[in-house]
Amino acid sequence: MIRICLADDQALFRSGVRALLALFDGIAVVAEAEEGESAVAKVLETRPDVLLLDVRMPKMNGVEVLTALARKSALPPTLLLTTFEDDAALIGGIRAGARGFLLKGTTPEILVAAIRTVAAGGTYLHAALTPAAQMSDLHGDWQPPPLSAVDPLTAREREILSLMTNGLANTQIAAALKLGEGTVRNHVSNILSKLGVTDRTKAVLVALRQRLV
């Protein structure tokens, strides 16, 4: 049984998620919280297998909850939930220890797949990222490819990747490094190609997981 703590400030959303998860075998919501401080307390009290955590809540936001639990060595595998695409929240959450990120409008099947993936030790970001040893057990997963020794990142590309992990857009990176925006776009394109990913968010996640920055 995968035991879930659900932390979200919207009672209707919590009720809906609880009802949906009740339809699936092997998953049970054992605790709920409507704000960040309560989320920390509930996790410490119930020690759930997975924490479903709203990115933006009263008192403490999702990243602050993650940080507080990690400081107490009590952070369970956590899926961040949000109503909109927010790369800054994703990056901040992954840095703080979250194992996944989902939009609230996702399907019940995807939510359950994400829960099972992080409970098994993997990471879920629209497509799942799992340890190599678990790839045979989980289907439809995306694993960050190893960086090619033949085509390593240049010093400038690592510098730009580092700024990307801090949530800077191309225009901000260009201003910070005194480069043309077109030059930055070319570097970003090269970074994505070398990392074997298709978007900036996955590039940042690969960078953090492989300690490239």
Q: Provide the CATH number for the domain around residue 188.
A: 1.10.10.10
Looking at residue 128, what is its pLDDT? 46
Residues 105 and 32 in one domain: yes
Q: Which residue has the higher pLDDT, 76 or 132?
A: 76
Q: How far is C-alpha 29 from the geometric centre of its chain's CA atoms?
A: 21
In a shared domain, residues 43 and 97: yes
Cα angle at 203 between 198 and 208, to 5 degrees?
Answer: 155
Contact between 65 and 96 under an 8 Å Cβ cutoff? The reply is no
Tokens of 25: 């075998």
Q: Provide the percentage of residues in the chain whose pLDDT is more than 70.
A: 83
Edge-to-edge strands, sheet with 78-82: 27-33, 2-7, 50-54, 78-82, 100-103, 123-125, 127-129
Residue 145 lies in a domain: no
Do 179 and 128 fall into the same domain?
Answer: no
What whole-number percentage of the chain has pLDDT above 90? 48
Distance of CA 70 to the CA centre of its chain: 15
pTM of the predicted structure, to 2 decimals: 0.68
Question: Amino acid letter at 197?
Answer: V
Q: Which domain covers residue 194, as residue numbers?
A: 155-209
185 lies in the same domain as 94: no
Query: 30 and 118 share a domain?
Result: yes
Domains identified in the chain, total number: 2
By three-state DSSP, how is residue 105 classified?
A: coil
Does one domain contain both 40 and 98? Answer: yes
pLDDT tens digits, one per residue of 73-126: 999 999 998 876 666 677 778 778 888 888 888 888 889 999 998 998 887 865
Residue 142 lies in a domain: no
Q: Are residues 101 and 163 in the same domain?
A: no
More confident residue, 209 or 146: 209
Residue 195 within a domain? yes
Tell whether 16 and 113 lie within a shared domain. Answer: yes
Question: Residue 178 falls within a domain, yes or no?
Answer: yes
Domain presence at residue 147: no
